[in-house]
Every structure is written in C-alpha cells, then in structure tokens.
Structure 1
Amino acid sequence: MPTTREFRSGEHVIVIRQTGVASGPAFVLLHGIGMEHRYWNGLATVLESVGTVYALDLPGFGDSPEPREPLSMAESGELLAELLVAEGIGRAVLVGHSTGAQIAAETAARHPQLVDRLVLIGPTVNPRERTLAKQTLRFLQDIAVLNPKVIALGLTAYAKAGPRWYAANLRPMLEHRMEQTLPLVQAETLVIRGETDKVVPRYWAAEVAALVPKGRVAEVPGRGHETMVTENLRVAELIVRHARGEQVGRFVAMPAQPLRAERMNRLSALGWWVRDYAYAAGRQLALVGARRPPPHWRRGDPAKPDVVLLPGVYEHWSFLRPLGDALNAAGHRVIVVHGLGPNRLGIAETAARLERALARVTVPRAGRVIVGHSKGGLIGKYLLVGGDDSSDRAGALGIRGVVGVCTPFGGARRARLFRDPSIRALLPSDETIVMLGSAASVNARIVSVFGTYDPHVPDGSVLDGATNVRVPVAGHFRVLAARETHVAVLEGIAMLTTEG
C-alpha cells in the first residue's frame, strides 16, 4: 500500500509518496517546475514492481506547503541529499524531469556517495536558449501537441502551485548552469529525450550526455517533453535497464562546443590564407585524370548509411578525396553526383539536380547522409527544408541528415570581395541564405564541423539548434584533410543515424 509522509528541514517541506517492494533499486522521482508527484503515477506503477519508488512533491508544489522564498538549484540539491540521508535511502537511482533533472544533477555532483545511478529526462536549461522569452516559446511549442491527459495533469498541478510561486521559481531555473555541474557527476547517467521535445533539442541532450563522464542518451520516438507521461512503459524500461547496469541508448563523446571560431590578428590571418590556398591549389591539381571516383567507394557495409559527398563552389569531387577515402575506410559507401560541374549554379537549382539524381537510385536500407563542404552543406540543408514547397524531399530520398564542413549557414560576408555571382550568392543578405537561416526546424538533423579559424567564413559555422563541433585545425580547405575532421564527421554521421 502507498504511504505518504513529510520530510522537514527548517521551513522547507517535501511530501514523499512511497510505493513498491522493499527489494530492488530505490527510485527517487523529481518533478519539473510547476508539477507534482501525480505526474509520475503511470511511470511509478511500472517501477514499483521492481523496487521502491519515492515520488516527491518539492517545496511549494503539489501537497507541499510554500516556503517564503524559492531555493536555488544547488540549495535544492542539498535539501534532497538531506532527505536521502534522513530516509536511509542509500545509493539511490535519481530520476529528474526538466528542472527536476537540474536538482538531481546537483545532488549527484555534491554527494556522489548517495547516488548509484542518475536519469535525466528532458533536462533543462539549454544554455543557448537561457532566456525567459525563449523558454516560454519552446514551452508553448511543446504544449501545442500535448494530449488531453498531459494537459489535465499540468493544469491541476499549476493551479495548486499558483502563478506567483511558479514565476518565482523561474529565476533559479534560468540562473542555474547545469553545464558546469554535469562534469562533476560520477554516477552512471542516462539522458532520455522525447523525439519531438521542443524544450530540449537533440543537440543539447547529446551535450548533456557528453558532459557527464559516464553518460549515454536515449530518444523516445514520437514524444515530446512529457515523454514519461505518454510513454511510461518505454521510459520505465529504459530506467530499469539503466538501474541494472545495462548499457542503454548510445554513448556520446564530443568536445565542448564553442560558440565562435577564434579570431586572429591580420598577420596570422594572412599566413593562414596563404597556407589554405596553397592546399586548395594542390587539391585542384587532383582533378587531372580524376574522371570517376575510386571503384572501392561503391563498396561498404549495408548496415551503414551511404554518404553523398557534395563539394563547394569551384570544387570537383576529387577535391574531397581525403575525406571520401576516410569515410569509405570506415565502412560507408561514398556516392558522388555527376553533372554539377564546378558547382556554380544556385543552391535551389543544384539541390533539384541532386534530388533527381538520387531519385533514380533505390534508397539504401540504412538511408543516406549528405556530407557537404562549404556550399555543399547549404545544398544539403535546402533538401532537408524541402525548398519552396512542403513535400518531404529528404524523407523520400532516405536522407537522415547533413554533416556540413565549414559551411556558411549564416552566409559569408567576405563573398562581397568577389565579383562572381555564384560566390556573391553566399552573402548573408541573399534571399536563399535568409530563407535557410529562418528554417530552424531541421537544424537538429544537422552536424556542423568547423576549424579554429576560417578565412572564408570569419564569423564561424555555428548553427543554432544543430550539433556544432570545432576541430583543432585552421583553414577553410585544409580542414578537409585533417584526421580530426574525419573523426568528427564520422561521429556526426553516427549521431544522425543511430536510434536512441
């Protein structure tokens, strides 16, 4: 039978609802802002058959009385640690949703002896969107597709908390720097994200898992931020397997993501221009006698996606041969689309040609990933967007995502230095560039790889909402030959095509 009791520490009260069997793991469930323990009912019903479940009402939410002031995330983490000690819950499996994930991470980082495993469901706050306006927008986008069950639970919980207390807790949520806490966590960690979660984009969930020394990420298809309510059986299965020590989801190992490429003084920048163009000149010479790609590029592991290699302006497929060889050596079939010439046509027209060429060939079982350099990445994104209509061109062609290398997703302001219209079409003010920039819905299916300094794209290739990876190599062209780039591209392909 369920038992309900209170834990008190000064003026702060946490209501505990305990269910389950005495043997097995101790699951401690932490709700997000505005919610209460009833939000977990479906999940708790599944978990209580394998262990003890402690579903909490945090101070001021659910049945817990409201204190005078909200706690910071660090203070909430300490309060939770006090509860674990007082209740004799040793080596807990902490399960936090949304802001509950922030509290769980704080407890795990500060008191590793109390936490056996950590589960972060829809962890907030994405540091690239740490503003009240942005979080409100994401929340509204997410609830627009919620089912009636979730809406009813949410309205009941929000009514109990009240708008004043809810608003008071927004500041601690936004001020918390989870990315600074995560590297201190020692517990095995599983990050769970709903596939359509607008609050927690895919790249941020992957970064959370990467920032934890022992982190993995799993994705629940077709669900949003409320995934543990609408898909409690699937989420419970992931949690139980994780608690048992199974390797759930996939391991993520990515470097910390920089927000901008480095800037250099004029003399150093000039030196990189010279070296970059010297490399480009050498690669252009490879065009001589390179009529067809190597025959072995057509062979690969059918369980891995085909790679469609797209060069940039004035680049032949042979310009990307070092990258193509590396991808093929890793087991991917590498596809080259002929008939693009020096790639001087408009992005839309080139994308249409690419679409026709790919449509003539049966979609491989594992699908396709576009790997494009510079303009090639923009062509790939154009196909993901669907161009000027609403058809799912990428889906029909089996395109799982795009890895762009040194791609000017925001345009290239230095294109104004050139008179060639095909290069000036990359200016930030160009109609197609503006359209692609506003099409943020597909960015989660893009990995942007760039170097420490790009003389052609000085503002960097960071794409908001994508997975951004900086490799320790400078240049716009030299990056293509670097082993670090090859590894980053391969990891990007795996991230885009591995099911959670």
Structure 2
Amino acid sequence: MSRTREFRRGDEVTVITESGAGRPTYVLVHGIGMGHRYWSDLADELAREGRVLALDLPGFGDAPEPATTQTITQSGSHLAALVEAEWGGEPVVLVGHSMGTQIVAEAAAQRPELVASVVLIAPTVNPRERSALMQGLRLLEDPSLTRPKVVALGIRSYLQAGPRWYFRKLRRMLDHRIELVLPDVVAPTLVVRGEHDRLAPRAWAEQVARMVPHGRYVEVADRGHETMVTAGERVADLVRRHARGEHVGHEVARVSEPQELSALARGWWWARDYVYAGVRQLAIVVEGWMPPARWRSGRGDLPEVLLLPGIYEHWSFLRPLGDALNGAGYRVRVVHGMGTNRRGIADTARRLGRAIERRRAPDAGRVIVAHSKGGLVAKQLLVSGADAAGDPDGATPAANGANGVLGVLGLVAVATPFAGSRMARLILDPSVRALLPSDETIVMLGRAASVNARIVSVFGRYDPHIPDGSMLDGATNIRVPVAGHFRILGAVETHRAVLEGVGHLRDQAG
C-alpha cells in the first residue's frame, strides 16, 4: 500500500509516494512532463525488497507549480535536501529517467555522502542534439509512441503539467550540461538504455557510462526511451542487483585507449602517418600557395568555416577537409599570417583574433575547424572571448556572444592534445615542448572547462603523437575508426564527423 506526503522547500513542493519498507531506499526521479505514475510497475517490483520513494517534482504530477522555474542544478539541490530529510540514516539509491538523470547526477555530485549508488535510465541530453526541435523529432521516432500504456500515461502527465510549465522546464533541461557533472559522481553508477532509444543513442549512453568514475552500461532489448514503463520487471532486477553491488552490464572502455592495436600495428600506422605528412608538405608545390577560389562561395545560411592548421603545417594539410566542407555548402577560409604556428598558444590566439576581426562576421556566424595545436589556439580564443565578455559559462552564442564581433560559434578540433602530449618531451624544439601536460598554458586550458560545450573533439582510435587521446570532458567527443595524427585528416570518416560537428555547433547556437 502506498502513502503520500509532501516535501516543502520554500514555495517548491515535491509530492512523495512511498511504498514498501526496509532497505535499501530507492528514490525515483521522473523525466520532463512525467510524474510518479510513470514508475508504477518498477516501483511495485522494487517495493518487494526495499523502501521506494517515487517523486512528483515541483510543477509535475500532483505537485503544484512554483512561482519560479528551478535550474537543473537547483533541482539537484532540492533533491539532495529531500534525501537528507527522508533517508533515515543511510545513503539511498538514486534512480533517474531522462531529465531525471540530470537531476540525479547533480544531487549525487553535490552531496555524495547521501548516495549509495546511482541508476541513470535513458540519460539526457545528447550534446549533439541539444535543441527542442531535435529532441521533439527524436521523440516522434522513438518506438515509445507505439505502446498504448506509454501514450496513455504520457498524455495524462503532460496535461497535468500543462504546456506553459513544460516548456519553461524544457529550456532548463536543454541548458544543463550533464557531461560537466558526471565526472563528479563518485557513487557506483549503472547506465540503462533501451535498445531502440532514439533520444539516448548508444554512443551517447556509452559516453555517459565512460564519464562517471565507476560506471557500467547495460541495454534492455526491444525497448525505447520508456524502457522502465513496459519492462518494469526487467529494469527492477537490474536496479536491485546494482544496488547490491553486483557487476551489472559491462564497463565501457575509454575511447582514448588504443588497446586493440598491437605494437606492430602502431608502428605501421606511425610510418604511414609520416608518409602522409610528407606528401601533404609537398602538396603545396602542386596545389599552389593560395586556397581554391571556389572555397569562398557557399550558402549564406550556413556558418563560415575557418581552417586552422597545427604546428609546422600550412593550409594544404587541411585541403581534404576544406574540400569536403565546401562540397557540403560551407564557405571555407584559411587564416593566414600564422607562419608555421610555432609561437606560444596565447600569442597565436591573439593574432588569430586580430586576423578574424579584419572581416565582418557573417550573419550565420563562424566555426573554427582546427588540427592538433590549432585546436589549442582556438580554445584559447574561446576562453579569452568568454573572459572578456564576462560570461563564465562561455555559452552565449553567435555574433553577440562570448567572442563579440568575431562571431565564433565554436570549434571542431581534430586530433588536438587538450591535455598535452607526453611525446613532446622527445622533441628539443621549445615550441613542441610547450605541449607537455605540465606546461602552464596546457594546465590552464585544461581547467577552463566553461567553453568545452562549444567544442567538438574528433579523434581516431590511435594517435602516435597523442597516446593519451583527445577526449575532452564536457565537449562533444567523436571517435572515428581511423588511426594516425596526420592521416586522419584525409579520411572520409573524419570528414563526416567534422561536418556533423559543424552542424551541431550551428544548431546549438540557433
């Protein structure tokens, strides 16, 4: 039998539906537009062996709408306060679905002593599709809408919340960056995804499991975003076993680890990589000193792309990328005056800013596509622009954004050593040794995570120059099935990933 009561904090009221008894205590946090009824089957199953608190968050289900809309961070604080008041002396198991995963992650990161373990079901928001339009389209594609039970519960819950409150909370959901919070979730975490979930695609859900320090990943066959509604018994079994400390699902290997390549294979890729680099160095003799004139033509509704090579590179290193971008309709320009890119990162970023500033920003904005050290220079530009604009979140978009007249929407970086490279110690050139992980500028840029949401990092499965990888917390990370530091620039898979990254930054700014 269930019991209902309220938890109040200011004018914010959460309705708690309690069932079961004993240990552990499961706290169920619903997604946007939903309420405690969405958990009914799962709650009944969990209540057989523990205490269950199924919540109606402020403004949803049976909870009244507060005067102001909490941010997701504030919702996490509200949840932590509720847990502290209700937990009965021992840490709880936090279970979140969809937007609820963002709130659960915040609470677990803010108050780790209150949390025994965490379950994230269908985590949101996929950084590559962080817009109301894309979320709506993915929901329409999800098999959830073919299941009458899900539709009936959804209609009832959405009508209770009302469109006004729903869209106010949707804005907060899309503004939140769960990827910045996950590294601080220290409790054992299980990520659960329905096999056919379109809002939480496999690559993103696996990335979530990878970003938490103690994460595991499991899929429920033949289910979509609503997996705990129509597979309550199966999901409850996973949650119970995880709460008992069993190894549910599997760990997701870090994408930067090249364990699948043998030493011989790495040597072969190293050799091919330098052959490719040599060919690109000589290409300028055949292709000329100036980029193709056709690159300056393209669609006015698409952002302009600025190509920024790495150290010792000229523009023709990025010729294959430029051709692919221009073929997709983008206007492509090369930043001249950088020389061989051997100056310090901060100095080069200032030069880059002055060079960009000479031309008025297009209405659709600009995206920098950079390789290797060029990505560090571009990130420095984003950081400097955010600091100058007094925008600590670095999230203000387009021409009125953190980079003002520069109009830089963001950065797509290919094979960039965001955490430095230990291989730099093998080179005597000071400009290369400045890329060591201990270098002051590298450390500073590593700490400047506020702009990472405006960065797409593209990298291959093995990079001889960056053996520790180019994974960047808080950014959109895209791994391509290609090896090499230079050769990756000519791969079709890389071109697709870069096009996807530029499109993501355009949509994010829009």
In the superposition, the TM-score normalised over structure 1's length comes to: 0.61
SS class of match (1:187): helix
Q: Which residue of the partner structure matches residue 19 of structure 1? A: none
> Which of 255, 258, 281 is residue 262 of structure 1 equivalent to?
258
Displacement of 1:480 after TM fit?
A: 0.8
| Contact map agreement 1:306 1:335 (CA 8 A) in 2 | yes
| Contact map agreement 2:277 2:487 (CA 8 A) in 1 | yes
> Which of 87, 95, 98 is residue 164 of structure 1 equivalent to?
87
One-letter amino acid of the counterpart of residue 328, structure 2: A
Correspondence 1:278 to 2:275 = yes
Distance in structure 2 (CA, Å) of the matches to 1:373 and 1:35: 52
Structural mapping, 1:453-468, within 5 Å: 453-468=462-477
CA 351–457 in structure 1, closer or farther in 2 if over 3 Å, else same: same
Q: Which residue of the partner structure matches residue 454 of structure 2? A: 445
Correspondence 1:425 to 2:418 = no
Q: Deviations over 1:338-360 (max 9, x none)?
A: 11111111111111111001111
| Contact map agreement 1:446 1:466 (CA 8 A) in 2 | yes
Distance in structure 2 (CA, Å) of the matches to 1:257 and 1:101: 36
Q: Deviations over 1:117-165 (max 9, x none)?
A: xxxx9xxxxxxxxxxxxxxxxx99934xx9xxx99xx49x946971635
Structural mapping, 1:287-366, within 5 Å: 287-288=284-285, 289-366=287-364
Correspondence 1:399 to 2:408 = yes
> Which of 10, 13, 18 is residue 3 of structure 2 equivalent to?
13
Q: Deviations over 1:448-493 (max 9, x none)?
A: 1100100000000001111111000111111111111111111111
CA 202–69 in structure 1, closer or farther in 2 if over 3 Å, else same: closer
One-letter amino acid of the counterpart of residue 3, structure 2: V
> Which of 176, 197, 206 is residue 176 of structure 2 equivalent to?
197
Displacement of 1:432 after TM fit?
A: 0.7
SS class of match (1:162): helix
Which structure 2 residue ranges, 5 or more long, are not aligned?
Answer: 47-56, 58-69, 96-103, 105-114, 127-141, 155-168, 184-190, 202-251, 391-401
CA 367–470 in structure 1, closer or farther in 2 if over 3 Å, else same: same
SS class of match (1:498): helix
Q: Deviations over 1:335-382 (max 9, x none)?
A: 111111111111111111110011111111111111110011111110
Q: Which residue of the partner structure matches residue 497 of structure 1? A: 506
CA 159–313 in structure 1, closer or farther in 2 if over 3 Å, else same: closer
Q: Which residue of the partner structure matches residue 142 of structure 1? A: 73
CA 439–35 in structure 1, closer or farther in 2 if over 3 Å, else same: farther
Displacement of 1:179 after TM fit?
A: 6.1
Distance in structure 2 (CA, Å) of the matches to 1:215 and 1:431: 39
Q: Which residue of the partner structure matches residue 418 of structure 2? A: 409
Distance in structure 1 (CA, Å) of the matches to 2:38 and 2:471: 26
Q: Deviations over 1:31-82 (max 9, x none)?
A: xxx789x858xxxxxxxxxxxxxx96332xxxxx894435447xx69xx9xx
Distance in structure 1 (CA, Å) of the matches to 2:436 and 2:495: 28
SS class of match (1:400): strand
> Which of 420, 431, 436 is residue 445 of structure 2 equivalent to?
436
SS class of match (1:488): helix
Q: Deviations over 1:367-406 (max 9, x none)?
A: 1111110011111110111179634662431111111100
CA 485–459 in structure 1, closer or farther in 2 if over 3 Å, else same: same
CA 160–336 in structure 1, closer or farther in 2 if over 3 Å, else same: closer
Distance in structure 2 (CA, Å) of the matches to 1:297 and 1:428: 36
SS class of match (1:385): helix
Q: Which residue of the partner structure matches residue 384 of structure 1? A: 382
| Contact map agreement 2:370 2:411 (CA 8 A) in 1 | yes
Distance in structure 1 (CA, Å) of the matches to 2:506 and 2:253: 20
> Which of 95, 100, 112 is residue 33 of structure 2 equivalent to?
95
One-letter amino acid of the counterpart of residue 405, structure 1: V
Distance in structure 2 (CA, Å) of the matches to 1:369 and 1:104: 46
CA 15–257 in structure 1, closer or farther in 2 if over 3 Å, else same: farther
Which structure 1 residue ranges, 5 or more long, are not aligned?
Answer: 1-7, 17-33, 41-54, 60-64, 81-92, 111-120, 122-138, 218-255
Distance in structure 1 (CA, Å) of the matches to 2:291 and 2:411: 21
Tell me the percent identity.
46
| Contact map agreement 1:257 1:469 (CA 8 A) in 2 | no
SS class of match (1:213): coil
Distance in structure 2 (CA, Å) of the matches to 1:350 and 1:295: 26
> Which of 116, 120, 133 is residue 178 of structure 1 equivalent to?
120
Correspondence 1:214 to 2:198 = yes
Q: Which residue of the partner structure matches residue 23 of structure 2? A: 69
One-letter amino acid of the counterpart of residue 57, structure 1: I
Aligned residues: 359
Distance in structure 1 (CA, Å) of the matches to 2:505 and 2:474: 14
Distance in structure 1 (CA, Å) of the matches to 2:195 and 2:417: 27
Structural mapping, 1:25-40, within 5 Å: none
| Contact map agreement 1:209 1:215 (CA 8 A) in 2 | no
SS class of match (2:477): strand
Displacement of 1:169 after TM fit?
A: 2.8
SS class of match (2:437): coil
| Contact map agreement 1:257 1:468 (CA 8 A) in 2 | no
Q: Which residue of the partner structure matches residue 494 of structure 2? A: 485
CA 321–442 in structure 1, closer or farther in 2 if over 3 Å, else same: same
One-letter amino acid of the counterpart of residue 176, structure 2: D
CA 331–416 in structure 1, closer or farther in 2 if over 3 Å, else same: same
Displacement of 1:216 after TM fit?
A: 8.0
CA 104–381 in structure 1, closer or farther in 2 if over 3 Å, else same: farther
Q: Deviations over 1:308-337 (max 9, x none)?
A: 111111110111000111011111111111
Q: Which residue of the partner structure matches residue 128 of structure 1? A: none
Distance in structure 2 (CA, Å) of the matches to 1:330 and 1:208: 36
CA 209–304 in structure 1, closer or farther in 2 if over 3 Å, else same: farther
One-letter amino acid of the counterpart of residue 214, structure 1: R
Question: Alignment RMSD, CA only?
Answer: 4.5
One-letter amino acid of the counterpart of residue 309, structure 1: L
CA 348–452 in structure 1, closer or farther in 2 if over 3 Å, else same: same
